[in-house]
């Protein structure tokens, strides 16, 4: 199988859906003890856990569009100390 833009989009959406399911299951524990937050901004989804500092649980997946960039940054800055930032070049 050859990777192409459509297949990459399907794989990315699959990963996002998996993380939404996983994080929602953790969030639904009584009292949300891990402090899980999930927020969708256009084509991207932001994930946060107050008590699990790893990048797996604290990241943004998907394409961050210019129109939602300020909203994403506001979400990330709102008391979230476990976030790590990575950037990738746009081609």
At 86 the pLDDT is: 56
Q: What pLDDT, in 10s, does the model give residues 18-51? A: 999 999 999 999 999 999 999 999 999 999 999 9
d(CA 85, CA 23): 20
Query: Residue 81: what pLDDT?
Result: 64
The alpha carbon of residue 50 and the mean position of all alpha carbons in its chain are separated, in whole angstroms, by 14
Tokens of 40: 């969708």
pTM value? Answer: 0.81
Residue 59: phi, psi to the nearest 5? -165, 175
User: What secondary structure does DSSP assign to 2-53, as a single string?
Assistant: ---HHHHHHHHHHHHHHHHHHHHHHHTSTT-TT--EEEEETTEEEEE-SS--
How high is the pLDDT of residue 85? 56
């Amino acid at each position: 199988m050859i990777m192409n833009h459509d297949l990459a989009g399907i794989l990315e959406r699959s990963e996002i859906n998996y993380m939404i399911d996983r994080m929602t299951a953790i969030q639904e524990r009584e009292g949300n003890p891990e402090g899980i937050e999930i927020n969708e901004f256009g084509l991207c989804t932001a994930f946060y856990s107050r008590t699990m500092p790893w990048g797996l649980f604290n990241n943004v997946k998907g394409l961050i569009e210019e129109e939602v960039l300020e909203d994403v940054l506001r979400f990330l800055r709102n008391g979230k100390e476990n976030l790590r930032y990575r950037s990738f070049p746009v081609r």
